[in-house]
Amino acid sequence: MSPAIVIRDLRKLYANKAAVDGLTLEVPRGSFFGFLGPNGAGKSTTIRMLTGLAPPSSGTIEILGYPMPGKELEIKRRIGLVPDESLLFDRLTGPEYLEFVGRMYSLDRKLAKERARELLDLFELSGDTKQIIGEYSKGMRKRVAMAASLIHSPELFLMDEPFEGVDAVGARLMKDILLDQVRKGATVFLTSHVLEVVERLCDHVAIIHEGRIIRQGTIDELRDSDDSLEQAFVRIVGYREHERLDWL
Amino acid sequence: MTRGAARWFGIIPSLLYYGFWTMAAFGIFSFCRIENEREMLAPALSAGLLAVFLYWQIAPVLTASMGASLNLQKLIVYPISLDKLFAVEVMLRFFTVGEMLLVIAGAASGLLFNPLFGGWKAALWIIPSGLVFIFFNLILAAGVRSLVERGFKRKGMREAGMLAFVLICVSPGIILGLKIPFQKLTSYLPLHGLFPWAITAQIWMGIPTLEGGVAFAVWIAVAYRFARRQFYSALREDPFAGRTAIKPGKTGAFSLEVVFTLPNRVLPDPLAAMVEKELRALSRCAAFRLACFMGFTFGILVFLPQAIGHKSKSSFMGEHFLAVVSIYSMMLIGYYTFWNAFGYDRSAAQFYFAAPVPFRSVLYAKNIVAVFIQFIEVSLITVVYVFVPLSFRPFAVAEAFLVTAVSCLYVFAIGNITSVRFPMPMDPDRMARGASSRSKSALLMLFFPVAFLPIGLAYWGRYVFHSDLVFFAMLLLAGMIGAAIYWVGMESAVNLSLNRREEMIAVLSRTDGPLSIAS
């Protein structure tokens, strides 16, 4: 079986500046893959290219055995997405949005409605079904985005900072659901700044810095002699002592 | 279009607008310079200043109803005193009605050139009193804006304000249509006594009175107190307090759910899902509802007096009232339904690129919704048409629907491209689009004549050959060509979407800055 994601020499240029610079990566099927990097390293740009939101300048992408671009619709049908920018339509209610997403992913209307209701229950969003998403809190928005990514039972999850702004209970729930999905054979590819979460969830990790992969492997391989993933991350990416300001 | 060209293009509407007011100011200057009868000039000046006063005070109603006003509330987190913010607000009232300054300057300089008032010596009382009148209007307008803005947070008030504004705007046309003599009209107006405009007119005529001066001082004090009070209340108000939460669902006895789910009966998924989503989302955008409301009322109010005023059979407006108002409504709501179809989706528009649907289907869904809404508009206009004192012709109803349908093909062909090429994020709660969209609005002014040219040719054919058959034959031909153009436009828009998806998403994801335009 082909890997979930195969990226070869991927490049993305913005005004001749490389946001992603020759990235090569392989994500095994059924893995919980953490994609780490400091701010501006190229994580979100990579995810945008994987989802077809941004065309690569050069290089090749293969997702679930299909080339991207070329078989975008086949790929999109099989992935669940939680991006950094909101995909949520603010003027719809939670149930309406989930039903809409389900139908966009070829679910029958009745089935989409049923799954929407079940997911809302699961994510504890069924309290006020008449509330529009525009009036949701940040955490609720993340929950509904997560629910939407699950509605069509995807084989691959692409998630950009999925736990950002989510309370501890919500984060725990989301983690449990994702772990459950991985146990059932799905692949999760996520970015997160919360390294404790990555350390606890992920079995594979890659670190991107200035558009290039600078280290990848299992959590144990990356930790090496360090006590925690955070320590290893800081060592790998490099930490510069900041200048002291007299007035600060 | 390059950024520089776009900037220059955006200046055109401003030039036209201020050009018009400069011409008006020059006309007023000429009148004030040559008029030598005090009996004529005094009420005219008072009426003119009353008009300036009304314009100045009504302008905030329009800007607030459209949401085009700077939100100073975002500045209260910074260490700036409320008095300074109030001063900023008053200054903003100065800049938002620059055209009234032109009018006042025209009148005042006309009087200075008029020998009846002693020449430049009159500047000693005309200029100071003019400045006091301007100051009074500024502070009162600041208070009115704050009051109106708070009121508009309540459900339905914004729509009511907009309707009031529309009625006021069209009232001169209606009054002219009714042919009421000027003298009779002025007898109904408060042009004398201790009103600010009447006092200013008196001073300008060189007949100041002590009681007038005292009254004006009282007016200013009251206006100042009112404005500060309203401004501080608006500034300290919780931005979410009093705002009616959007609760989708049943509206009275009629459930909109029937309308929303209608597409599921005739269209397959995912088209039906997208159409349903669009109908639901648009129905919850206050600004869009207001645009729809204006779409069918504004045209009727603007064109009906003209249609009724010319009862002769040969009157174009009398004969084509329904078609003209239908096309006009399309122009009013067009920015929201087809010129900038992704404006309300904002960052969520990227969903269409991430979901497993061809982008062509997304545009089809948007166009289906636009046609649906446009036909509701035409139906509402038709209902009004039945009751207005114009001879009802079923033929005119069919003509209006056909003309609208054919026009849709052309405007969608261009609109699908502009929606992808020139997307603009829009706030669902306000109609104002901000200065950055001015160049795009100017561009649309060019597109409309192009899009409506085939319809114009069909009417031209009818006029030249005096034949409805020719008209419908040309309309049919326009429809066939329109279908081809629509297809070409669709392909271009789809290709553009592939090449420009990143720019499109980036533009649509832009959010307000710290000092945004807001309601």
pLDDT at position B252, please? 46
> Measured between beta carbons, which residues in chain B are less than 8 angstroms from residue A103?
269-270, 272-273
Structural tokens at position A86 = 């909101």
Nearest chain A residue to B506 by CA: give it.
A85
A101 touches chain B (CB under 8 A): yes
User: DSSP assignment, residue B391?
Assistant: -
Q: What is the predicted pLDDT for the residue at B178?
A: 63
Task: Return the domain boundaries, chain A.
Answer: 5-237
Report the run of H or E that residue A157 belongs to, with start and end.
strand A156-160
Mean pLDDT throughout A24-51? 89
How does strand A58-63 pair with strand A66-68? antiparallel
Cβ-Cβ contacts under 8 Å, B360 against chain A:
none
B-facing residues of A in 38-77 (CB < 8 A) are: 48, 51-55, 72-74, 76-77
CA dist B491 and B485 (Å) reads 10
Strands A79-82 and A156-160, how do they pair?
A: parallel
For residues A23 and A212, the answer to whether their CB atoms sit within 8 Å is: yes
User: Which residues partner with B255 through β-bridges?
Assistant: B250
Cross-strand bridge partners of residue A158: A81, A189
- HSE-CB of B24 using CA atoms within 13 angstroms: 14
Cis peptide bond upstream of B270, omega within 30: yes
**Considering only the top CATH level, what class is A5-237?**
alpha beta
Residues 6+ apart with CB under 8 A from A183: none
* Structure tokens given for B3: 């950024």
Phi and psi for A132 in degrees, rounded to 5?
-80, 155
**Residue B128 neighbours by CB under 8 Å, 6+ apart:** none
Nearest CA to B351 out of A12, A112, A145 is that of: A145
pLDDT category of residue B221 using cuts at 50, 70 and 90? very high
Kindly report, residue by residue over B263-301, the tens digit of the pLDDT. Answer: 888 888 889 999 999 999 988 887 788 888 877 787 777
Identify the band that residue B2 occupies on the pLDDT scale cut at 50, 70 and 90: low
* Closest Cβ–Cβ partner in B345, B354, B428 for A76: B354
How far apart CA B298 and CA B318 sit, in angstroms, is: 17
Q: How confident is the model at residue B260 (pLDDT cuts 50, 70, 90)?
A: confident
For residue B177, how many other CB atoms are within 10 A of its CB? Answer: 16
Segment among A239-248, B97-106, B303-312, B321-330 with least mean pLDDT: B303-312
Give yes or no for a contact between B423 and B508, defined as CB atoms under 8 angstroms apart: yes
A138-150 and A94-104 are packed helices; what angle lies between their axes, rounded to 10 degrees? 30
8 Å CB contact between B277 and B355: no
Check pLDDT > 60 for residue B67: no
Lowest mean pLDDT, pick from A98-112, A141-155, A189-203, B228-242: B228-242
pLDDT at res. B519: 34
Q: What is the pLDDT of residue B180?
A: 67
What are the structural domain ranges in chain B?
Answer: 17-236, 257-508
CB distance B302 to B170 below 8 Å: yes
* Cα B309 to Cα B315: distance, rounded to the nearest angstrom: 9
Assess contact for A233 and A202: CB atoms under 8 A.
Answer: no
A145/A160 Cα distance (integer angstroms): 11
Task: Among B280, B355, B498, select the one facing A76 at the smallest CB separation.
Answer: B355
What is the per-residue pLDDT across B183-212, written as a single tens digit (0 to 9) for each?
677 677 777 778 888 899 888 888 878 888
The answer to whether A104 contacts chain B (CB < 8 Å) is yes
Q: How far apart are CA A92 and CA A141, in angstroms?
A: 12
* Residue of chain A with shortest Cα separation from B510: A85
Q: Which tokens go with A240?
A: 């510069």
CB B96 within 8 A of CB B17: no
| Angle formed at CA A119 by CA A113 and CA A124, multiple of 5 degrees | 125
B113 within 8 A of B194, measured Cβ to Cβ: no
Angle, alpha carbons B182-B185-B187 (nearest 5°): 115
pLDDT reported for residue B516: 45
Mean pLDDT of chain A: 87
Report how far residue B57's alpha carbon sits from residue B191's, in angstroms, rounded to the nearest whole number. Answer: 17
Is residue B173's pLDDT more than 70? no
pLDDT of residue B65: 58
Q: B327-356: per-residue pLDDT in tens?
A: 888 888 887 888 888 888 888 888 898 889
- A89/B contact by beta carbon, under 8 A: yes
Task: Give the separation between CA B188 and CA B494, rounded to whole angstroms.
Answer: 59
Of the CA atoms within 13 Å of residue B142, those in its CB half-sphere come to 31
| Residue B377 confidence (pLDDT) above 80 | yes
Q: For position B245, what pLDDT does the model report? A: 54
pLDDT of amino acid B218:
93
Interface test with A, best of B283, B345, B350 (most A CBs within 10 A): B350
Region A223-236: what's the mean pLDDT?
Answer: 79
**B53-62, B156-165, B241-250, B474-483: lowest mean pLDDT where?**
B241-250
Q: Is the CB of residue A90 less than 8 Å from the CB of residue A133?
A: yes
Is the pTM higher than 0.90?
A: no
Instruction: With beta carbons less than 8 A apart as the criterion, state whether B36 and B464 touch.
Output: no
Q: Where are the beta strands (DSSP E) in A15-74?
A: 17-27, 32-36, 58-63, 66-68
CA B306/CA B316 separation, integer angstroms: 10
Give the lowest-confidence range in B19-28, B231-240, B241-250, B413-422: B241-250
pLDDT at position B5 is: 63
Residue B489 has pLDDT above 80, yes or no: yes
Is the pLDDT score of B490 beyond 90? yes
A181-190, B70-79, B145-154, B305-314: least confidently modelled range: B305-314
Residue A196, SS3? helix
User: Quick check: A128 contacting B, CB < 8 Å?
Assistant: no
Q: Does residue B344 sit at the A interface (CB-CB below 8 Å)?
A: yes
> pLDDT band at B59, cuts 50/70/90?
confident
CA distance A1 to A64: 9
Distance CA A52, CA A57 (A): 12
Q: For A35, list phi and psi in degrees, rounded to 5.
A: -115, 105
Q: How far apart are CA A188 and CA A31, in angstroms?
A: 6
pLDDT value of position B253 = 45
Judging contacts by C-beta atoms under 8 Å, the chain B residues touching residue A91 are: 246, 280-282, 284-285, 344, 428
Q: How far apart are the CA of A128 and the nearest CA of chain B, in angstroms? A: 10
Residue B517 CA: distances (Å) to CA of A50, B66, B432, B466, B510: 36, 10, 8, 51, 13
Partners of residue A76 in chain B, C-beta under 8 Å: 354-356
- CA-to-CA distance for A3 and A187, rounded, in angstroms? 10
Q: Kindly tell me if the per-residue pLDDT of A165 is higher than 60.
A: yes
Task: Find the mean pLDDT for residues B42-68.
Answer: 78
- Closest CB from B285, B353, B428 relative to A53: B353
Question: Among A113-122, B429-438, B456-465, where is mean pLDDT lowest?
Answer: B429-438
User: Is residue B413 within 8 Å of residue B490, measured between CB atoms?
Assistant: yes
Nearest Cα of chain B lies from the Cα of A199 at a distance, in angstroms, of 29
* Lowest mean pLDDT, pick from A146-150, B489-493, B513-517: B513-517
Tell me if A150 sits within 8 A of A122, measured CB to CB: no
Residue of A nearest to B497 (CA): A53
| CA distance linking residue B501 with residue B400, whole number of Å | 37
Q: Is the peptide bond before B190 cis (omega within 30 degrees of 0)?
A: no
The confidence band for B222, taking pLDDT boundaries of 50, 70 and 90, is: very high
Select from B246, B352, B361, B496 the residue whose CB has the most chain A CBs within 10 Å, as the one to mutate to test that interface.
Answer: B246
Lowest-confidence segment of A9-18, B405-414, B505-514 by average pLDDT: B505-514
**Amino acid (one-letter) located at B375:** F
The structure tokens listed for B2 are 């390059």
Find out whether B89 and B72 touch, Cβ atoms under 8 Å: yes
Q: pLDDT of B407-430, one tens digit each?
A: 889 988 988 998 888 888 887 776
Distance CA B352, CA B342 (A): 10
Which helix (DSSP H) or strand (DSSP E) does residue B287 occupy? helix B286-309
Of A48, A85, A100, nearest to B277 by CB-CB distance is A100
CB-based contact B196:B141 (threshold 8 Å): no
Cross-chain residue pair B274–A89, CB shorter than 8 Å: no
Q: Looking at per-residue confidence, does A180 or B425 come out higher?
A: A180
Lowest mean pLDDT among A54-68, B58-72, B177-191, B483-497: B58-72
Distances (CA, A) of A56 to A50, A126, A180, A208, B84: 9, 40, 32, 17, 50
Question: What DSSP line would sit under A198-241, residue for residue?
Answer: HHHH-SEEEEEETTEEEEEEEHHHHHTTSSSHHHHHHHHH---P
Decide which of B434 and A22 is more confident.
Answer: A22
How far apart CA B342 and CA B350 sit, in angstroms, is: 10
Q: Test B270 with A106 for CB contact under 8 angstroms.
A: yes
> A13 touching B, CB under 8 A?
no
